[in-house]
Structure 1
């Protein structure tokens, strides 16, 4: 038995906290075709080993079977599986998840430099619709957008109808609307722009994201409120961000659970996914707009039929 449940045996990377497996049925109504547009499936590590330089390990409970049980509890039928950072560019878990879930799932991958066009075609046929770049956690060039690399990849994937997904704090990039004005693909930014709530909605980077979204060049995900909030549920301090996005750019928004919530530390209570889903009633109170965010927008972005 491992004497420290947060530490893998023989490994320096601690386990992230496990998600709730007893998911509460949400109060919010999930319409037919509702999509969880941001989730990670992980492990088991003996089948899908994480790369050695990772800063944490996925919890053993973060399996595809547990994720599908969570979706069923929420009443959500579609999903987007996003490549987590601890797998680097080994997309095996995502691709196997897409194969298991079939046409109701889409994927976002990380590409190595040696991926050829035939492999991109195979990934597209499997349900991949985008390439993820982690701008936040990179060891070199933190706070700098690798625009040459981004453009090179975007030019390759544009004919496939894919997009670029960026894990970035948009408050660090107040001129991002100019940087991406003529970009070859649309971009998608997670966690309401990943702006710490203390910056407020007047933050220049958040305003630049809004301009890109109004021009139809960018999307934002209503995900991960605990990543940017300084308060507990229901995270009142980020409500202005959600309200601004819903009021100004409702057709460029999607929602996601951010399951299994790997950025929640052991010192912060793990949220129940029923509570995460119920934040939609505060963020998107109009049922008609909520259906656009949950069904119509992800169908357009990810190609669900």
Structure 2
């Protein structure tokens, strides 16, 4: 693994599935984890030159056991930054998992159509845009990039997924209102108080969710809560669900980089705290991802 001027985070071993909290509510049939990652040996799947973290302990076999414990039936593998636009690990995992899995790829702008069609056959249904990596660009350039990638997705019936800091999301909201392709914003919009995001900014995001082609993902609450605890995230999650429950999905963010000891069962149970409505839970866990990912 190449060295970097920024010290990579050290990924810790995965928690034993038998120690996970069990579901505290009735998990909907065909429940889907719409955001997880899979990793493999470095000699088979080389990482990018300057990874942000060391190789996580995120093997597919371990995750399939976790699904049994948490009563999940479907999942979506999101291409991690660790591999950049080399999607081989994700594609191989999709082929191994079969029809219960879908994928979100990261691609170069000049990726040929034949490759994208091959990805589609394997189960890919979206392209992930790493806007953290482009956050230093002028907003107009980011908008142009999104427009080009949306065009590529539309030709395949795919959608876009944005991995973006909240302040970039805030700056893009007026533009995103006119994007005609469905798009998902990871981690509840990633609107951190620490980055200067306000309640008014979040209200504008909810407006985008209600009226546009925007979807939001209830994932990685620990990345928003930081050291404040999950109660600090609850108003945001409840606001998202209330605004448009038919355009909300849930994801575990497994293997919780860099902290593999996190309890994925606890994260699933947060959904029951954010909404006690069984119909809404079923929409978020089963119906919505089935529609978005073409299960």
| Structure-2 separation of matches of 1:9 and 1:182 | 41
Q: Could you tell me whether the CA contact under 8 Å between 1:28 and 1:280 is conserved in 2?
A: no
TM-fit CA distance, 1:232: 5.7
Q: Could you tell me whether the CA contact under 8 Å between 1:170 and 1:194 is conserved in 2?
A: yes
TM-fit CA distance, 1:107: 0.4
Query: What is the aligned partner in structure 1 of residue 55 from structure 2?
Result: 58
SS in 2 for 1:174: helix
SS in 2 for 1:51: coil
TM-fit CA distance, 1:216: 4.0
Query: What is the aligned partner in structure 1 of residue 202 from structure 2?
Result: 206
Give the aligned CA root-mean-square deviation in angstroms: 2.5
Is the alpha carbon distance of 1:85 and 1:9 closer, same or farther for their aligned partners in structure 2, counting shifts above 3 Å? closer
Q: Which shifted more, 252-261 or 28-37? A: 28-37
| Structure-2 separation of matches of 1:49 and 1:153 | 25
TM-fit CA distance, 1:168: 1.3
Q: Could you tell me whether the CA contact under 8 Å between 2:34 and 2:289 is conserved in 1?
A: yes
- Say whether 1:16 aligns with 2:11: yes
Which of 241, 245, 253 matches 1:246? Answer: 241
TM-score, normalising length: structure 1: 0.87
Is the alpha carbon distance of 1:48 and 1:293 closer, same or farther for their aligned partners in structure 2, counting shifts above 3 Å? same
Query: What is the aligned partner in structure 1 of residue 35 from structure 2?
Result: 38
Query: What is the aligned partner in structure 2 of residue 227 from structure 1?
Result: 223
- Say whether 1:261 aligns with 2:252: no
Query: What is the aligned partner in structure 2 of residue 147 from structure 1?
Result: 143
Is the alpha carbon distance of 1:65 and 1:142 closer, same or farther for their aligned partners in structure 2, counting shifts above 3 Å? farther
Query: What is the aligned partner in structure 2 of residue 288 from structure 1?
Result: 279
SS in 2 for 1:124: helix
Is the alpha carbon distance of 1:245 and 1:182 closer, same or farther for their aligned partners in structure 2, counting shifts above 3 Å? same
Q: Could you tell me whether the CA contact under 8 Å between 1:197 and 1:229 is conserved in 2?
A: no
TM-fit CA distance, 1:115: 1.1
- Say whether 1:127 aligns with 2:126: no
Query: What is the aligned partner in structure 1 of residue 25 from structure 2?
Result: 28
Is the alpha carbon distance of 1:141 and 1:41 closer, same or farther for their aligned partners in structure 2, counting shifts above 3 Å? same
Query: What is the aligned partner in structure 2 of residue 274 from structure 1?
Result: 265
How many residues end up aligned between the 2 structures? Answer: 291
Is the alpha carbon distance of 1:162 and 1:9 closer, same or farther for their aligned partners in structure 2, counting shifts above 3 Å? closer
TM-fit CA distance, 1:198: 6.3
TM-score, normalising length: structure 2: 0.90
TM-fit CA distance, 1:176: 2.6
Where do 5+ consecutive residues of structure 1 fail to align? Answer: 1-7
TM-fit CA distance, 1:203: 2.9
Deviations 1:176-230 (A, max 9, x none): 3321122241110111111125689953432232122111410011010100104
TM-fit CA distance, 1:175: 4.4
Structure with the higher fraction of residues in helix conformation: 2
Where do 5+ consecutive residues of structure 2 fail to align? Answer: none
TM-fit CA distance, 1:26: 2.3
